[in-house]
Structure 1
Amino acid sequence: MKKRGRPIPGYSVSNQGEKIPDAQIAEYLMELYWDEWLGAMGYKKWTLYLKDHHSLIISKHKVYRMCKGLGILKKPNTKKAKHPRKLARNRTITGSNQLWQVDIKYGNITDSNAFFYVCSAIDVYDRTIVGYYCGSVCKAKHITTMLTKALIRRKVHFKSGEFEKKLILRTDNGPQFVSEDFGNFCDHHKVYHERIPKKTPDMNAYIESFHSVLQRECFDRYAFGFYEEAFYYVDQYIAFYNHSRYHGSLKPHTPQKYYDLSRRGQIPSTKVKL
Structure 2
Amino acid sequence: MDVKAINKLWQIDIKYVKALNGQFIMLTDIIDVYSRKLVGREITPTATTEDAKTAVKRALIENNVTSNIVLRSDNGPQFTSVKFEQFCKTNNIYHELIPTSSPNYNAHIESFHSLLSKECISWNEIRNFTHGYMLIDEYIEFYNEERIHGSLNYLSPNEFIRKSII
TM-score (norm 1): 0.59
1:106 corresponds to: 16
Residue by residue, what CA displacement relative to the aligned partner does 1:153-201 show, whole Å, maximum 9, x if unpaired?
111113xxxxxxx200000000000011111110111010000001111
What is the deviation of 1:115? 2.3
Q: Does 1:117 align with 2:117?
A: no
Give the aligned partner of residue 225 of structure 1: 127
* Equivalence for 2:156: 254
- Residue segments in structure 1 that go unaligned for 5+ positions in a row: 1-90, 159-165, 265-274
RMSD over equivalenced CA pairs, Å? 0.9
TM superposition shift of 1:219: 0.5
Deviation track 1:209-258 (CA, whole Å, cap 9, x = no partner) reads 00000000010011111110000000100000000111111001100111
- Match among 87, 104, 107 for residue 202 of structure 1: 104
Letter in 1 for 2:138: Q
Which of 209, 213, 238 is the matching residue for 2:140?
238
Aligned to 1:140: 49
Inter-partner Cα distance in structure 2 for 1:114 and 1:235: 17
Larger gyration radius, structure 1 or structure 2: 1
Residue number in structure 2 paired with 1:168:
70
Contact 2:43 2:133 in 1 (8 A): yes
Counterpart Cα distance in 2 of 1:150 and 1:260: 18
Shift of residue 205, structure 1, vs aligned partner: 0.4
Which of 156, 159, 176 aligns to 2:65? It is 156
- The answer to whether the Cα contact below 8 Å between 2:13 and 2:29 also exists between their aligned partners in 1 is yes
SS of the equivalent of 1:192 reads strand
Q: In the alignment, is residue 93 of structure 1 matched against residue 3 of structure 2? A: yes
Q: Using the alignment, how far apart are the partners of 1:134 and 1:156 within structure 2?
A: 21
Cα contact 2:22–2:128 (8 A) shared by 1? no
CA distance in 2, matches of 1:155, 1:116: 28
Whether the aligned pair in 1 keeps the contact of 2:37 and 2:157 (CA below 8 Å) is: yes
State the identity as a percent.
Answer: 38
Task: Quote the Cα distance in structure 1 between the aligned partners of 2:122 and 2:116.
Answer: 9
Deviation at 1:116, TM superposition (A): 2.0
CA contact (8 A) 2:41 2:58 kept: no
One-letter amino acid of the counterpart of residue 96, structure 1? I
- Taking CA–CA contacts closer than 8 Å with sequence separation of 6 or more, which of the two structures ends up with the larger relative contact order? 2
Q: Does 1:186 align with 2:88?
A: yes
Scaled by the length of structure 2, the TM-score of the pair is 0.97
Task: Note if contact 2:49-2:79 (Cα within 8 Å) is conserved in structure 1.
Answer: yes
1:125, distance to aligned residue in structure 2 (A): 0.1
